[in-house]
Copies of this chain bind each other. A is one copy, B any other.
Amino acid sequence: MSDRLHPLLAGFPVRLEIPVAFGDMDALGHVNNTRFFRWFEDVRFAAFIRAGLEEVRGRTGIGPILAHTRCAFRVPVTWPDTILAGVRVTAIDEDRFTMEHTLVSREKDAVAALGEARIVIVDYGSGRKVPIPPGVREALEELREPPLA
């Protein structure tokens, strides 16, 4: 990701730059809605790495699952374009946390979509919810920002 921060990503500590593909568009000539959720996932996993969640998952089998997600579509995206994806933590609870997503179209110089994801920490072996591991909790706090108004 380029060092120069797009102003629309201010307040989003984890950011990713993703090229739009021709094949992301569906027969209506716009990027299909499912791709927006893939872009959310892309930057969410970048945040999971930053928070140490991928390291914990590999070592302990404890990791994040997606419990709920949503997307508000603002502006249609077309190829060619580049998506600037940002994510921040907005709430942290015992065994779960909430993240807020933004997707900025570089071509349109506008927010293409806003979204949210609620993440639960589980033991993949038993499927049971477990508390957020201590080191991860502190790392998530550093990715925390006040939510969008």
Contacts and interface: CB of A to CB of B under 8 A. Distances in A.
Contacts of A66: 33, 73
A60 interface: no
Contacts of A41: 21-23, 32-34
A84 to B, nearest CB: 13
A67 B16 CA distance: 24
A18 interface: yes
Interface residues of A, number: 36
Contacts of A69: 33, 70-71
A77 to B, nearest CB: 12
Interface of A: 16-19, 21-23, 25-29, 32-35, 37-38, 41-42, 45, 49, 63, 65-73, 76, 79-80, 124
Contacts of A16: 19
Sorted nearest first, the 3 A-B pairs with minimum C-beta distance are: A70-B70, A25-B27, A22-B45
